Structure 1
């Protein structure tokens, strides 16, 4: 598969995992997807880069041991103007959680809080462009925001990240907007106001591709993970919601 070299503004371009036990997470994702890993030095916070066939696929940091937040995945959206993105976030009901900051010659980053309270990363690439490939087994295939403040969230991503959106559904039972349309859609925003428990914050979720969801679910459990939602069939393939061995949630999706 060809190396991905660039991402349009606003598109998901990277993800990383905050893990309370990086060594255990290395074993889990290596066992599930065959990912290898490379670890940077202390000057870069011992940041781990997962790779597949030599291509970068995800990152990992050790979670702050004083944090009460669960282990979890974060999504980063591409931008060619990190300062402008941060300024736009602050002007559209967002907050700046971190940055903007330079990460050596790799690029520049910021972590924001969107208008609905979900954390989202912004990445202005240097030599690190982002995912080495997407849409295949062992790589991200979708990124989804579940939010209680649907209208404000859609407007936030339109104004802050320049999203060109399409409404996929707009009923009381199911409201969903995508970045792009049809087969070219790259991410989605789900109105979760009726299903998100009060104690669960709005958040982004990553979908990772596998050839056989049922077999992958069995392997997840053998590797110490858990099943949050058993495999189901959708219009977009078979899926299952699981956690890794330290509790980080993600969705397995057939490719």
Structure 2
């Protein structure tokens, strides 16, 4: 099992969570699809559920909420990038033209976090670990395997993420228009222009990819459970993948791909 026990290096995607309109329904859906185990958490943490796979934390699911008078945030998955200092990251994000949506906050004794948008509008989180490093299992069926920035402006995004968070873009031979995102000499994610199979007007966003044993059968199960197919399973350089939405509309990708890897050792 690809277990992660050491802290993630700054800039590395380290966690994903889902904002759901119906938290219990989302917990039930992902339990059946990926084998996750989770339940609604304590009220003091907003009921946040940490989902487990083989007794290791794999992702979070929470209910939509907003301060009084504010609109609810959209249903969707958020990618969190690791930081050694959330306050310093917040300053760097602002200095490089990003927008702080939710300022640095304490999450009990587990960590410190913020939510921001890059200059192209893609929303992401920053996580500074205290007691909790993030995903404890990756790169196996049911777990996170890749994080991808789909952006309206790859040049602007590349200029932002390197000085702000330490993510350096690089071209990939044989994959024109696709960029790796690197921390040091390690590839930790990808970046591309917003793909044409997404709906016109889709904003810049980070997409979470989950590993599966069989992309076709996973998509079949998702449809039977009320989900939708955005891009049917297709073969690509890294394996066989599909882009889908859960029954509440949260978009993500599944990939049957031993080559596509999120770091299994920070």
Q: TM-score range by the shorter chain?
A: over 0.9
Q: Does 1:57 align with 2:61?
A: no
Q: Retained in 1: the 8 A contact 2:27–2:61?
A: no
Which residue number corresponds to residue 240 of structure 2? 238
The whole-number CA distance in structure 2 between the counterparts of 1:197 and 1:243 is 12
Q: Does 1:81 align with 2:82?
A: no
Over 3 Å counting, the alpha-carbon distance change for 1:178 and 1:20 in structure 2 is same
Given the two structures, how large is their TM-score scaled by the length of structure 2? 0.88
The whole-number CA distance in structure 1 between the counterparts of 2:24 and 2:233 is 28
Give 1:140 shift.
Answer: 0.8
The whole-number CA distance in structure 2 between the counterparts of 1:97 and 1:234 is 35
Over 3 Å counting, the alpha-carbon distance change for 1:197 and 1:249 in structure 2 is closer
The whole-number CA distance in structure 1 between the counterparts of 2:210 and 2:228 is 16
Q: Retained in 1: the 8 A contact 2:50–2:59?
A: yes
Q: Retained in 2: the 8 A contact 1:220–1:244?
A: yes
Match of 1:72 among 70, 76, 87: 76
The whole-number CA distance in structure 2 between the counterparts of 1:38 and 1:178 is 35
1:82-139: per-residue Cα shift (whole Å, max 9, x none)? 1111000111110100020110100000001111111110000011100011111110
Give 1:79 shift.
Answer: 0.3
Give 1:149 shift.
Answer: 1.7
Give 1:160 shift.
Answer: 0.7
- Structure 2 unaligned segments of length 5 or more: list them: 258-266
User: Counterparts of 1:1-255 in structure 2 under 5 Å?
Assistant: 1=1, 3-5=3-5, 6-64=7-65, 67=71, 70-168=74-172, 174-180=176-182, 184-192=186-194, 199-255=201-257
Q: 1:36 is paired with a residue of what secondary structure?
A: coil
Q: Give the aligned length.
A: 252
Given the two structures, how large is their TM-score scaled by the length of structure 1? 0.92
- Structure 1 unaligned segments of length 5 or more: list them: none
Moved over 4 A (4+): 193-198
Q: CA RMSD in A?
A: 2.2
